[in-house]
Amino acid sequence: MRVLECSHYAHHLHYCCLPEIHLMKIGFLGLGNMGQAIAANLLIGGHELVVWNRSPQATEPLVELGAKAVTEPAQAVAVDVLFSMLADDKALRSVLLDSGLLKQLKAPLIHVNMATISVAFADELAGLHDAQGISYIAAPVLGRPNVAAAAQLNILAAGPAQSIDQVQPLFDLIGRKTWPLGEKASAANAMKLAANFLLVSAVQAMSEAAVLVSRHGLESKDLVDLVSNTILTGPVYSGYGALIGERRYEPAAFKAVLGLKDVDLVLAAASQVSVQMPTADRVRANLQDAVEHGQGEMDLAVLAEVEERRNPR
């Protein structure tokens, strides 16, 4: 049995007595709130980690845990597995393609891209990796930063089955379940966008319902308590509902501006296959309203304030 040092995080005590596993050298590009939590769990699993982030200070907590920080993405790719968790299509294209980094990757490296990106860009990336002889896995995740820190993410994985099998021990360190979605990498991105669309739509519906009950002299937090314990149980209604009920939008775990980005990707994916999504159009307009009113950096639950503006007392 392999014994790990788990003093950093009490919730990782379940890692302390694991069967011996093959340790890997891992590169990690992009250390936002999600990336930091995921990278920390890989370190706690005993793997060697090389990290890069555009803002170097984000690497400091991981260096304290034993990671090696580098100043250029190209210094993090001489590894067995390369993880990327960059903000959007633009950031990933800049770091991976415009810089020429992809052309420097060498087999048998496996690239695991965990970012929420467009379906079209995911298809482009898969083709470019294939031409380079590099295994590419799309593995966006469901879960907020606290879920990532607790290693309870749901991982939506698509790409070469053999490569997914190779990195599954790493997925087991960062998530509660891996959902295999076939060989076509962009399928994982389509599924993630669909899931995010349902999430933002639920928050939009809660926002409208909260304004309705408040205009009838009721407390919106009482509505949230009712539905999250009866007909709509689950983290979306209890978590975002509590923020709406308390009108508490900071600190943001999922920023409204990122919700807007995701809905734009949903609409682009829908256009690709001639699907109409009128609810997505409405939610997009409301998220744009939040951004225009200086609330883009607030939590997605700030959609409730958009509804307040639309329905003045």
Which residue numbers are catalytic? 192
Query: DSSP code of 71?
Result: S
Rounded distance, CA 309 to CA 304, Å? 9
The residue type found at 210 is A
Specify whether the backbone of 251 is left (phi greater than 0), alpha (psi in -120 to 50) or beta.
Answer: beta
**H or E stretch including 27?**
strand 25-29
DSSP of 251-311, one letter per residue? S-SSBHHHHHHHHHHHHHHHHHTT---HHHHHHHHHHHHHHHTT-TTSBGGGHHHHHHHHS
Question: How many residues are recorded in the chain?
Answer: 313
Contact 85, 35 (CB under 8 A): yes
- Give the amino acid at 193: L
